[in-house]
Amino acid sequence: AIVDLYDTDPVGWDKDVRPAIQSPADLVIYELHVRDFSISPTSGLKYKGKYLALTEPKAIEYLKNLGINAIHFQPVFDFASIDETRLDKPQFNWGYDPKNYNVPEGSYATDPYSPATRIKEFKEMVMALHKAGIRVIFDAVYNHTFDINGSNFQRTYPDYYYRKTKDGKYSDGSGCGNETASEKPLMRQFMLESVKYWIDEYHIDGFRFDLMGVHDIETMQAIREMVNRIDPSIYIYGEGWSAGSCAYPTEKLAVKANTQQLKGIGAFSDDMRDALRGPFSDDHQGALLAGLTGQEESLKFGIVGGIAHPQVDMTKVNYDKKPWTNNPTEQISYVSCHDDMCLVDRLKASIASLTDKNIPEAIRTAELLRIDQLAQTCVFTSQGVPFILAGEEMLRDKKGVHNSYNSPDSINQFTWTNLQKYPQAFAYYKSLIQLRKNHPAFRLSTGDKVRQHLEFLPAQETCLVGFQLKNLEGIDAWKNIIVIYNFNKEAKKMQIPEGNYTVACCNGVINEEGLGFVSGKEVEVAPQSALILYQK
């Protein structure tokens, strides 16, 4: 199709502006699949499963009320596994099977047969979110294509764009049958031009690179440098790993261990994620959230944002034995994303008491809420860039499905009635996000500032981690902040610097004005919860 792109611009597109941020640490990233959000009959939205659902007042007000300021959309480029000519039959896919990188996905448009419609509606969505103060992050899946022989790369220049092993077979670092060769000049140029195109034409505000560890460091550096010339506030981050061995030297790849060479590109902290919920390799194995000891140091490494910190013993960190960020803004802090089980399912799979039918449902639900809230308190009070899977704030589940990439809507859709069922969940997430926004101490942008102001408290018990953010004059309205996480099923005591404190968070409730006062040099923390204290 030949389209005059000016004709696809919505009214006011020329005045559309990127919501401002001072630092990537100011972002609250909400990972969302376009279809999941609105497809359920319970959503109350008109444009179910479409870009335009994200322009509807109900949707915009919901997102603003929650407080997120960036949406990481799962793939919105044209992907292969959905037949846009058969939208009358049930189809679902996350979209990590690229076909046309520079074209919006048509199944999310009201009319996939009209080439201009998908472009205009995508832009209308971006503009509506920008007006609401929400940035739009593009999920960039340049590491592989849906297939080889049918791909545009292969048809353009056979075998050039893909890596091969020494025996002449196609390398499969993506786990999807092929891997692209970002180090080759034409592939690198394609990636650069594609990123620039999405920024220029669609006003994209950030990029998440799928399996970034497949790409070479030099290409990722070139992308960061190009984007800096356009707007340095455009955030770039990715998965610092591959899904298999790549036919390229590991020391030249953009894996997590090489993040310090990426000059301002972030990576996901699986150290922190698995310290909280348990290992990637076993859904049924818990960690700190299950009350199991041994991951305290890994969590501390996540709390400081992956930087070098004198109080973090790297020999005890689960995956990394040396720091991998220069500054905390290069760490994505999270406990769940679209990959693996969502948080509720993972907690139920790894903590027996949550599914024990001999325990009354009300007690099980109360424990689930406590642990879920504790998990996200760890994420939002840590340094780094916080990231949540959309729907966690309403205790979303996926019926225990580990990999729902092609599961039906009944598994993937938001169940909006959960908002009435678990109102305290949404209220806590909202308060937690607001707490972070209100207090720059949780959003320090450099490693030096973290080392200067963040000090861990000595713990006499296991599954108990505490720290103070101190000497915050000129940084925060609160002069000193104490944060303690108790993962035990019993209340625990912890030593703190002696003084008078206001309680901001206790027993699953957040109130910055104060829930009470404590004095002395020791506090008791309720079971499976966080305690946050402050001095003005």
All residues at 6 or more sequence positions from 465 whose CB lies less than 8 Å from its CB, including other chains:
288, 296, 299, 300, 303, 456, 459, 484, 485, 487
Q: How many Å apart are CA 501 and CA 480, to the nearest integer?
A: 9
Cα–Cα distances in Å, from 251 out to 73, 169, 173, 222, 456?
30, 22, 15, 17, 33
Catalytic-residue membership of 210: yes
Judge contact between 293 and 462, C-beta under 8 A: yes
Q: How many Å apart are CA 439 and CA 208, to the nearest integer?
A: 26
Catalytic-residue membership of 239: yes
Catalytic residue (one of 26, 36, 139, 210)? 210
Nearest to 532 by CA among 465, 482, 469: 482
Rg (CA), the chain: 23
Nearest to 476 by CA among 450, 444, 515: 444
Query: Across the strands, what pairs with 531?
Result: 484
All residues at 6 or more sequence positions from 2 whose CB lies less than 8 Å from its CB, including other chains:
none
Side-chain-facing half-sphere of 491: CA atoms under 13 Å: 9
Q: How many Å apart are CA 156 and CA 161, to the nearest integer?
A: 9
What's at 487, amino acid-wise? F
Q: Specify the 3-state DSSP secondary structure of 50.
A: coil
Cα–Cα distances in Å, from 409 out to 37, 79, 253?
10, 18, 36
Q: How many Å apart are CA 288 and CA 312, to the nearest integer?
A: 17
Catalytic residue (one of 172, 239, 296, 297)? 239
Query: Across the strands, what pairs with 529?
Result: 486
Nearest to 375 by CA among 446, 459, 274, 283: 274
All residues at 6 or more sequence positions from 442 whose CB lies less than 8 Å from its CB, including other chains:
380, 381, 382, 383, 435, 436, 469
Q: How many Å apart are CA 336 and CA 317, to the nearest integer?
A: 19
Taking residue 470's Cβ as centre, other Cβ atoms within 10 Å add up to 16
Q: Which residues are catalytic?
A: 210, 239
